[in-house]
A and B are shown apart, each in its own frame.
Chain A
């Protein structure tokens, strides 16, 4: 069937060029890149092994403590404990820990890269005007698009999974770091500069502390996005809860998919609450100086 719209340009040439260029990168630099990312893989492996080695009751106690210290809310803490207990009880503990490890590693990388990028962006209006549309595109691209280039580069496995997750999850932390720093009261910044603060002191003593609640909101969003991406990434061999969902679909076992799905939701709820409570505490600290 002929296309309705006449083909005005021949895109084949361009497409081939892109594909060839990419293959060239893969053949020439694939190994180097993989070697460079070795430490990341090691970190992830160690985290996964640690979380799976840790006795479940210790993990639950740890999460309970974290939730309580952030929220000072007993009900929230109890529900976090019950949810984790459910995940263990239905036999998904190890999968859940694999997912958490991947998510934490990806979030950590996203935060470590994203906050400095946000800081740089807050310094230049020009950079912001270039970066914002780019971040918008990154956030609206279908999740699967991220998987393809990374799988091509590294083959299926944990490295492409974590990289795709980082790419997908990094925009909020960059955006909100930039926003948070720009929102800091100009006169407070001026004051510290007027008393002779260096640019570094200005950043560490005023801009970051005052932008912290907003940055925390960014980290929260990044965490959530990382979690959702980690599930998708199981398709390329990341394992974890997402893999259970995938198997459920493949084998038409609705129950398996459903239970794993619920476990994912529970993890999301727990992390969201912890991150939000921390954000609120940071805000409160600023407001009342407690």
Chain B
């Protein structure tokens, strides 16, 4: 990762809640645990030596149990909470060095946030809430309203702009929060359990919308969630926090199949693998022939070395397998970036489907391959050590 790829760098950040932060820091440096520090100094360790970077344009997910310090960490990025020690660099500039004016400008235009419990102003309408950012930026009312309406429409709340937050359901309020965050056009978006209050349908809708926004606007998104499936679906990389300590940072695959320790392993055990694995993890590359190339001799020869051959016939794709070399079955196709779960309905109808990479056929996925990928991963994610079977000690 080169320096210009890094959007946010968190450099040895500690956060201590309480009056005796110095004593607590000294105790921590001396190797004391969270409970010990609390007992000795009465201070709560919010974050302990957090060190990682977030790339420009990536969706970075923070996970951890309740009280692990996720909200505390995300609030450091816009200085709602200030670290006890350490630096937070955004675009290479330490936000702790900003004066009041620079900080205001940074919060107005550089970073925006969606809150866990919405944080909407109850005495303002949905539209007024949505345009709070532009108004603080000094954009004029008309322009701000136009921008606000655009975002409200995007999150499906057109027609509710003159209601008050209390008159909306939790999920709708959360979408107002999202619209409000998007209206500022900041390129960093902090989302503290933004989708937790949504029902499953709207949730997956919003997830798709977020991916879409991400693809179009290339924002840097920091996303907190309790839902591992959501983390795997949205996150380019995932960080796992426990008791204010970073346990692992990595891609979904790394977290799932190469957990750094027992804790992470237990954390990911219940994951729905069909959503965590992608078609490209399971398929097999096979030769692709045009109709003209697909002579009997040639296909027979190829089928000796490959499980199947794909024959392109105009828009139609046929699959010749070694089991049935004479019958060319018309096959459905799926993109290599689709989750394995998305191939199940297709595989239910036919033995093999064609896998496409940027529009061109590259290989096939059979039922057997899908099952093998799932069980292989399942074994990896569930390689239980006796210690990890015990209930986790209460911290």
Contact = CB atoms under 8 A, between A and B. Distances in A.
Interface SS, B side = mixed
A196 interface: yes
Contact of A195 (B105, B112, B123): B112
Interface in B158-197: 163-167, 180, 184
B120 A286 contact: no
A286 B123 contact: yes
A248 interface: no
A21 interface: no
A287 B107 CA distance: 29
Given A195-B108, A195-B184, A196-B137, A286 B116 contact: no
A201 interface: yes
A17 to B, nearest CB: 38
B296 to A, nearest CB: 69
Given A194-B113, A195-B108, A195-B133, A187 B118 contact: yes
A151 interface: no
A197 interface: yes
B80 A289 contact: no
Contacts of B80: 190, 193-194
A193 B79 CA distance: 10
B329 interface: no
A261 interface: no
A88 interface: no
Interface SS, A side = helix
A288 B164 contact: yes
B156 interface: no
Contacts of A192: 121, 132
B119 interface: yes
A286 B111 CA distance: 29
Given A195-B133, A196-B107, A285 B119 contact: no
A197 B166 contact: no
B257 interface: no
B104 interface: yes
Q: Which residue, of A192, A197, A289, has the highest number of chain B Cβ atoms within 10 A?
A: A289
B122 A194 contact: no
Contacts of B164: 288-289
Given A192-B132, A201-B136, A289 B125 contact: yes
B186 to A, nearest CB: 9
Interface in A121-151: none
Interface string A261-290: 000000000000000000000000111110
A191 B108 CA distance: 12
Contacts of B117: 185, 187
A288 B117 CA distance: 18
Interface string B90-115: 00000000000000111111011101
B78 interface: yes
Q: Which residue, of B106, B107, B125, has the highest number of chain A Cβ atoms within 10 A?
A: B107
Interface stretch (A65-73, A202-210, A249-257): A202-210
A285 B123 contact: yes
A197 B108 CA distance: 8
Contacts of B124: 289
B123 A187 contact: no
Contacts of A193: 80, 107
A25 interface: no
Nearest to A196: B108
Contact of B119 (A191, A198, A289): A191
Contacts of B105: 196
Contact of A190 (B115, B125, B163, B180): B115
B116 A187 contact: yes
A248 to B, nearest CB: 49
Contact of A209 (B109, B123, B125): B123
A69 to B, nearest CB: 20
A185 B119 contact: yes
Contacts of B166: 287-289
A206 B121 contact: yes
Q: Which residue, of B105, B107, B123, B132, has the highest number of chain A Cβ atoms within 10 A?
A: B123
A41 B109 CA distance: 51
Given A195-B132, A196-B137, A201-B136, A188 B112 contact: no
A187 B75 CA distance: 11
Nearest to A206: B121
Q: Which residue, of A188, A201, A206, A209, has the highest number of chain B Cβ atoms within 10 A?
A: A188
B122 A286 contact: yes
A289 B118 CA distance: 17
B74 to A, nearest CB: 10
B192 to A, nearest CB: 9
Contacts of A197: 136
Contacts of A198: 104
Interface of A: 185, 187-188, 190-198, 201, 205-206, 209-210, 285-289
8 tightest Cβ-Cβ pairs between the two chains A and B: A289-B164, A191-B119, A196-B108, A196-B107, A187-B119, A194-B113, A195-B133, A196-B136
19 contacts: A187-B115, A187-B116, A187-B119, A190-B75, A190-B80, A191-B115, A191-B121, A193-B80, A194-B80, A194-B113, A195-B107, A195-B113, A197-B136, A198-B104, A206-B121, A210-B121, A285-B123, A288-B167, A289-B166
Given A196-B105, A196-B106, 10 more contacts: A190-B119, A191-B132, A192-B132, A194-B111, A194-B112, A194-B113, A195-B133, A195-B184, A205-B121, A289-B124
